Amino acid sequence: MVAIVDKEKCTGCENCVDICPSAAITMQDDLAVVDADACVDCESCVDECPVEAIHME
């Protein structure tokens, strides 16, 4: 499993960047991007996203 960001929903709030324990999420062009290799499947970003732009696959 890995976190997937819906670019259409992401508002660039950076909440997911701040909460990610493995620093797997960065910002590119004001949108969240997940490094699949660094993601530890904790789902913290899913719970933290205020616009439900992140899901696990």
Q: Coil, strand, or helix at residue 33?
A: strand
Residue of 24, 29, 35 whose CA lies nearest to 12: 29
In tens, the pLDDT along 28-56 reads 999 999 999 999 999 999 999 999 999 99
Confidence of residue 22 (pLDDT cuts 50, 70, 90): very high
Tell me the whole-structure pTM to 2 decimals: 0.92
What pLDDT score does 23 carry?
98
What mean pLDDT is predicted for residues 8-25? 98
According to the model, what pLDDT value does residue 6 have? 98
